[in-house]
Each structure stands twice: as C-alpha cells, then as structure tokens.
Amino acid sequence: MTAGTQTRVAPGRDVTAPSRVGRLRGWIANPWGRPRWLAAFTVAYLVWALAPVLIAIQFSFNAGRSRSAWQGFSLRWYITDPTLSVLNDPSLRSALSQSLKIALLTMLIATPIGVGLAIGLARWLGRGARAANTLMLFPLITPEIVMGVALFLVFTNLFGFIDLGTPAQLLGHVTFTISYVVVVLRGRLFAVTAQYEEAAMDLGASRWQAMRLVLLPLLMPAIYAALALVFAISIDDFVISAFLSAGQDSVTLPVRLYSSTRLGPTPALNALATILLLITLVAVIGAGLALARSRRRSGEHGSAVEDLAQFDM
C-alpha cells in the first residue's frame, strides 16, 4: 500500500470483505467452482451434433411426404406404403440386403485373418516384423478415395476376372477392415503376454493346445469387439462401395442414401437411414456388452465405454 492514500470508509464497515461487484465477478470467474461455461458449451455441442439426426429419425415416422412439416405419426415409410416404403420399394430393399450381406461376409472373413495378423505381428521378432507392421498401418491412414480409385483400377485392369459389384466390394471391404481388427486386438495382446501360454506348456500342454485353450479364450473380448467393429465399419462404408459398384444390384445402403439425397426424397430415405442406425447400434452395443461381461468375469476395473473410446486410431 503506498503511503499517503486514504480510503474513505463508512464506520463499522468491514473493509476486508469483497464488494458486491467483486463478489459477482468472483462467482463468475471462480476457478475452482463448477465450470459452467464449459459445461454449457459442451451441451450445446452435443445438441448441435445429435439434434439433426434425431429430427431426421423423427420425420421417418411422418405420416405425410414432408421432411420438415410434421403431419402425424405413421409407419408408412417403413412398412405400409404400397410402393414407396422400405419394405415395398425394391431398390431400397435391395440396398439394405446388399449392405447386410457384404457386412456379414466381411466380418466373417476379415476377423480371422486380422486376428492371425495381430497375433503374428505381436509375437514376431524377426527382421520383417517392422515392415509388416508398417504395411498393416497403411490402410488406416490412406484416404478412402485413394483406396477406392486403387481398387477400381486394379479390378478393371489387372484382376479383370473379378467382376465389379459384390465380389469386388467384398474384397475391398475385407482389405481395409483387416487393419482395424489388428488395432483392436493389439491392446489385448499387449496385456496377454506369452507367459500364460508358456505356463500352460510347462504344465504339459502342446503348442496348439496352449493356443486354443489359453490364448484364444483370453483374446475373446477383443475378438467380439473386432467382429462388431468390422460389421459396423463395413455397413457404414460409402466410398469403396460406390467405386466398386456395378449397377442397381450392388448398390449398398449408404450409396443409395447418397444418390437420392438431393433428388427430392421422401421420408422413406430417413426410414432407411434409421434402420441402418439401429443395425449399427445393435452391433456396437452387443460388442460393448460382450466386453463388459468378460471384463467383469476377469475382474478388471474401469468401464467398457472407456474401452470403446480408446479404440481411436
């Protein structure tokens, strides 16, 4: 306090207590209080991120043709409309079945290959291991359009015996999902070191018994997660399916959504998209439950949701 300043104070007033304005500022800027602005901002972001989709889902149940004027609740666009509903419009139905077909096949093919690759890469200590690992990582960072062009050119120029359409789409989907399987398995393989198999072999098990009865069961949670992830990624894929399609029969759900969006679509498109969302959510929730159940059985802490959140590349 500099000498000579004089503050005029009313008698009996406590000068050490903050003024009314000071207290208001303190409440707003209180660093150890609740982060109100951050919380509000986060809620606003989540609303911005999710509300448009919720509105789209709502209008898939619209009784009329509009996608912006609510005209009553109806399952018209799903089932009852005789020509335009998802059930009765052959192009919408075939898009749904094509997507499901490819996603299921991709899941069944890519997961075993990916699990083998993950185990091999985790335990391989030789000279080629580093190069193999880099090769595995490349599909994850390649822009989809580059992969789409690459696969299109190779199936039209070199591997001409493989038709565009379902065969090409299937091969393309497996190609880019293998790396996701490896990434999912990696975390688990890091924890499940060779010691368990070695213990089993010390107790008399053969190599294959150790693999089958010790390693595989320990990896099962990650394998479930990988199955669901491959399914979800494959059914959501747009670019590669679009580049490798060959006419109406091989149009997948996302490609169908894309081609119809700007053409004055009916809410049937919203219905199709909602069905896709439901299928994906079922797959993901199934994986989450499988993960949570095996975690509880093995007594780990933490949450399966955080596990899923860590599956970022």
Instruction: Name which of 7 and 68 has its Cβ closer to another protein.
Output: 68
Query: 3-state class of 73 per DSSP?
Result: strand
Nearest approach in angstroms of CB 237 to another protein is: 9
Task: Look up residue 165 and give its DSSP letter.
Answer: T
| Among residues 71, 80, 91, 261, the one that binds another protein under rule CB under 8 A | 261
Residues 119 to 158 in contact with another protein, rule: CB under 8 A = 119-121, 123-126, 128, 132, 135-136, 138-139, 141-147, 149-154, 157-158
Nearest approach in angstroms of CB 35 to another protein is: 5
| Among residues 74, 75, 100, 116, the one that binds another protein under rule CB under 8 A | 116
Residues 82 to 111 in contact with another protein, rule: CB under 8 A = none
Q: What is the CA radius of gyration of the chain?
A: 28
| Among residues 63, 87, 105, 201, the one that binds another protein under rule CB under 8 A | 201
In contact, 289 and 307? CB cutoff 8 Å: no
Hey, which residues does 130 pair with through a beta bridge? none
The contact mask relative to another protein for 217-256 (x = CB under 8 A, - = no) is ---------------x---x-xx---x---------xx--
Look up tokens 């660093």; give the residue: 31
Residues 45 to 84 in contact with another protein, rule: CB under 8 A = 45-46, 48-50, 52-53, 55-56, 59, 66-69
The contact mask relative to another protein for 169-198 (x = CB under 8 A, - = no) is --xx-xx--x---x----------------
Burial of 243 by CB count in 10 Å (0-12 exposed, 13-18 middle, 19+ buried)? Answer: buried
Instruction: Name which of 85 and 276 has its Cβ closer to another protein.
Output: 276
In contact, 256 and 91? CB cutoff 8 Å: yes
Residues 17 to 46 in contact with another protein, rule: CB under 8 A = 31-32, 35, 38-39, 41-42, 45-46
Instruction: Name which of 9 and 309 has its Cβ closer to another protein.
Output: 309
In contact, 82 and 268? CB cutoff 8 Å: no
Q: Could you tell me which stretch among 7-15, 85-93, 184-192, 207-215 binds another protein (CB under 8 A)?
A: 207-215
Task: Look up residue 67 and give its DSSP letter.
Answer: S
Nearest approach in angstroms of CB 281 to another protein is: 6
| 120: phi then psi, degrees, rounded to nearest 5 | -60, -45
What helix, strand, coil percent values describe the chain, rounded to 5?
70, 0, 30
Q: How many residues bind another protein (CB under 8 A)?
A: 95
Nearest approach in angstroms of CB 7 to another protein is: 26
Sign of the torsion angle spanned by Cα atoms 165, 166, 169, 171: negative
User: What CA–CA distance (Å, rounded) separates 174 from 151?
Assistant: 12
Nearest approach in angstroms of CB 16 to another protein is: 21
Instruction: Name which of 2 and 161 has its Cβ closer to another protein.
Output: 161
| Among residues 207, 216, 249, 296, the one that binds another protein under rule CB under 8 A | 207
Instruction: Name which of 85 and 283 has its Cβ closer to another protein.
Output: 283
In contact, 182 and 225? CB cutoff 8 Å: no
User: How distant is the alpha carbon of residue 8 from its chain centre?
Assistant: 66
Q: How far apart are the first and last CA of the chain?
A: 57
Q: Kindly report the number of other CB atoms within 10 A of residue 278's CB atom.
A: 11
